[in-house]
Amino acid sequence: MTTAVLVHVVVSGLATGSIYALVAISLVIIYNATRTLNFAQGEMLMISTFVGFTAYQRLRLPLVVVLLVAVVAAAALGWAIERLIIRHAISATHFDVLILTLGVSLVLRAGAGLVWTHDEFPFPALFANRPVALGPVRVAPVSLGIIGASLALMLALYVFFAKTRLGRAMRAVAQNQRAARLMGISVERVYSASWMLAAVVGAVAGILIAPVIFLSSKMGLVAINGFIAAVLGGFGSMPGAVVGGMLLGVLENLAPLYLPSGIKYSVPFLLLIAILLVRPGGVVGRTVRRKV
């Protein structure tokens, strides 16, 4: 393979990797607040993208407004799921909540099929597909656009968690809920905010990836890779989620480039097992002390 091909494939992998990273971040946000895995993350992403799409089709809104519509819809959906379902299971075990979110994902996916059919739809792209020359290599604006937009969102999240009151409250809850409550933080508000924020991050990821993998009721499956990315990075860590996502995206592309067909699709999974075995806390994870 020539260098140009290699660069293209890696950049392309970074683009899908950014999406995995965004999904991983949204999973981590919810996990940090409520200590649950959200199986419905992919379906929440899909629903918000569909709502944006409907706004685009019916009202011919510009794409930036469509993005806004999707984000608002996502926040509402995240709020509703947390408030109406998850909060009622607050005393339940993590396993119970896990299956609750599984139920939510089934309902959302089937519901989307009933409203929008299970067909696939072309989604208007924010960025062009035709390549541009950057020095000796040619790259597609769509890949760069996805990477750029994702990085911008990650930066915004960083500022949010570092500088704002709510962001700091969320971090406090992630570290120690009881202590946070004693400090006067409304943990319930943090739960709500976490689900809403996670849904919003997912919605942006959905709008970014929909032109590439198309809009359909099954696009939420992209969240499986988000899970893997989050674990690769050490579940709970946001920088880890970013690294895990990018790593997975690039590896997924490099494996078919160099390996025979019999093994290439197992590589991300074998790698996941291998990394977990060598570094059980993920690539950038820390070791967790067990409490009695």
Partner 1 sequence: MRRAALALGLVALLAWPWASPRYFVFLASLSVVNAIVAIGLNLLSGYTNQLSFGHAGFLAVGAYTAALVTTRWPDTPIVVTLAVAALVTGLVGLGLGVPCLRLEGLYLAMATLAFGFVVVEAIMNLDWLTRGNDGLRVPAARLGPWALQSDTARYYLVVAVGVVMVWAALNLARTRTGRALLAIRESEIAAQASGVHLARYKTLAFAISAVYTGVAGGLFAFVVGFLSPDAFDVFLSVDYVAMIIVGGLGSVPGSIAGAALLTVLNDSLAGFQSYRPLIFGTLLILSLLFMPGGVARAFRFLKGEQG
Partner 2 sequence: MRYHQAWVVALGALLAAAPAAAEPGVTDTEILIGGSNSFSGPLAFTGEQITKGGVELYLRVVNDAGGIHGRKVRTLWYDDAYRPQDAVANTKKLVEQDKVFAIIIPQGSPPVVATLDYLEEQKVPLLFPYQSSPVTRGKRWIFQGMTVSDRSSKMMIDYLAGRRKFKKFAALYQDDEYGKSFLTAFEKDLGRHGLKLGAAESVKRGVTDVSAQVAKLQATKPDVTFLVLVPGPAAQALKERQKIGWSDTLMVSTGPLTDERYLALAGEAAEGVEGLSLWPDPATSDRPGVKLYREHMQKYAPRNEPNRYSMAGYFAGMLFAEAAKRAGTNLTRESLIAALEGIKGWESGILPPLTIGPDHETQKQGFWVRVEKGRFKPVTDWLKGE
Per CB under 8 A, residues contacting partner 1 are 37, 39, 85, 88-89, 91-93, 95-96, 98-100, 102-107, 109-111, 113-114, 118, 224, 227-228, 231, 235, 261-263, 265-266, 269-270, 272-273, 276-277, 280-282, 290, 292
Closer to partner 1 by Cβ: residue 209 or 223: 223
Q: How far apart are CA 43 and CA 163, in angstroms?
A: 30
- From the list 168, 170, 171, the residue with the least C-alpha distance to 191 is 170
- From the list 289, 135, 123, 288, the residue with the least C-alpha distance to 213 is 123
- The item of partner 2, partner 1, none sharing an interface with residue 138, based on CB under 5 to 8 Å by kind, is partner 2
Closer to partner 1 by Cβ: residue 107 or 156: 107
Q: How far apart are CA 67 and CA 6, in angstroms?
A: 32
List interacting residues with partner 2 (CB under 8 A): 1, 5, 8-9, 12-13, 15-16, 19, 109-110, 113, 117-122, 129-131, 138, 140, 142-143, 209, 212-214, 216-218, 221-222, 225, 249, 252-257, 261, 265
Which contiguous run of DSSP H or E holds residue 133?
strand 132-134
- Sequence-separated (6 or more) residues with CB below 8 Å from residue 208: 18, 19, 22, 126, 145, 146, 149, 150
Q: How far apart are CA 217 and CA 193, in angstroms?
A: 26
Closer to partner 2 by Cβ: residue 179 or 263: 263
Closer to partner 1 by Cβ: residue 93 or 164: 93
- The item of partner 2, partner 1, none sharing an interface with residue 212, based on CB under 5 to 8 Å by kind, is partner 2
- The item of partner 2, partner 1, none sharing an interface with residue 254, based on CB under 5 to 8 Å by kind, is partner 2
Helix (H, G, I), strand (E, B) or coil at 250: helix
Cα four-point dihedral sign 47, 53, 59, 62: positive
- The item of partner 2, partner 1, none sharing an interface with residue 32, based on CB under 5 to 8 Å by kind, is none
